[in-house]
């Protein structure tokens, strides 16, 4: 059993914002696996797949970013997901735009959604995939992450989101996370 959670905000007006990189990656992974988000459960919309006999759930919390931990904790409990089989995908202002960083575990950094997940799970011992959105403006952080992604930004971010979906695809098909990290981590 694997759980992949893409972080974002559920309303359509947030879809093309920097803070929805996790949702965008989840959508790309679902398309690669030919599944759709059809089920509402545990404060999330989910898509279900089977890969090599293992159940895979892709989730997008509908709790808004800062309360993402509620959905993640409920899904982990419901499906008895081991934290070693949990991957969270999210935007990260602390790394350059166009970067992809995959890690086994680590701190939540400045990301409130990740802080809430760590708090709700009581551990930071789960994999994460950070899509760099590198804030390079005097704009307040909240205004930046909720701002619309421009065409120029898409030129940098779309290939990274595709790369992240490819990395998840390989991982879910049995490639070890260390090899996935070596293959897909990308510095901008």
Instruction: Check if the beta carbon of residue 117 is closer than 8 Å to that of residue 157.
Output: no
C-alpha distances (whole Å) from 92 to each of 19, 112, 157 are 8, 11, 12
Burial string for 99-125 (b: 16+ CB within 10 Å, else e) reads bbbbeeeeebeebbbbbbbbebbeebe
Every domain of the chain and the residues it spans: 2-184
Q: One of 19, 48, 85, 104 is an active-site residue; which one? A: 19
pLDDT band at 184 (very low <50, low <70, confident <90, very high): very high
* Mean local confidence (pLDDT), 181-185: 96
**Any catalytic annotation for residue 19?**
yes
Query: Which ranges of 94-138 would DSSP assign to H, the alpha helix?
Result: 112-121
CA 124 from chain centre, in angstroms, equals: 15
pLDDT over 90, % of the chain = 90
For the stretch 121-131, pLDDT in tens is: 999 999 999 99
CA trace torsion 135, 137, 140, 146 (10° rounding) = -60
pLDDT confidence band for 38 (50 / 70 / 90): very high
When pLDDT is cut at 50, 70 and 90, the band that residue 105 belongs to is: very high
- Write down the architecture of domain 2-184 according to CATH: 3-Layer(aba) Sandwich (3.40)
Question: Are the beta carbons of 36 and 47 closer than 8 angstroms?
Answer: yes
Q: CA 42, CA 59: separation in Å to the nearest integer? A: 10
Determine the Cα–Cα distance for residues 61 and 6; give it in Å rounded to an integer. Answer: 8
């Amino acid at each position: 059993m694997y759980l992949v959670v893409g972080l974002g905000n559920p309303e359509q007006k947030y879809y093309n914002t920097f803070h929805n990189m996790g949702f965008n990656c989840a959508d790309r992974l679902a398309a690669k696996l030919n599944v759709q988000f059809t089920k509402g459960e545990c404060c999330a919309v989910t898509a279900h797949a089977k890969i090599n006999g293992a159940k895979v759930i892709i989730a997008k919390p509908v709790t808004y970013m800062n309360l993402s931990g509620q959905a993640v904790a409920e899904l982990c409990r419901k499906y008895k997901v081991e934290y070693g089989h949990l991957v969270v995908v999210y935007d990260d202002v602390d790394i350059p735009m166009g970067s992809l960083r995959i890690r086994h575990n680590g701190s939540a950094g400045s990301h409130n959604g990740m802080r809430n997940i760590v708090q709700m799970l009581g551990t930071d011992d789960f994999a994460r995939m950070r899509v760099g959105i590198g804030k390079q403006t005097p704009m307040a952080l909240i205004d930046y992450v909720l701002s619309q992604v421009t065409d120029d930004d898409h030129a940098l971010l779309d290939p990274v989101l595709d790369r992240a979906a490819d990395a998840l695809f390989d991982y879910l098909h049995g490639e070890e996370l260390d090899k996935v990290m070596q293959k897909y981590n990308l510095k901008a």
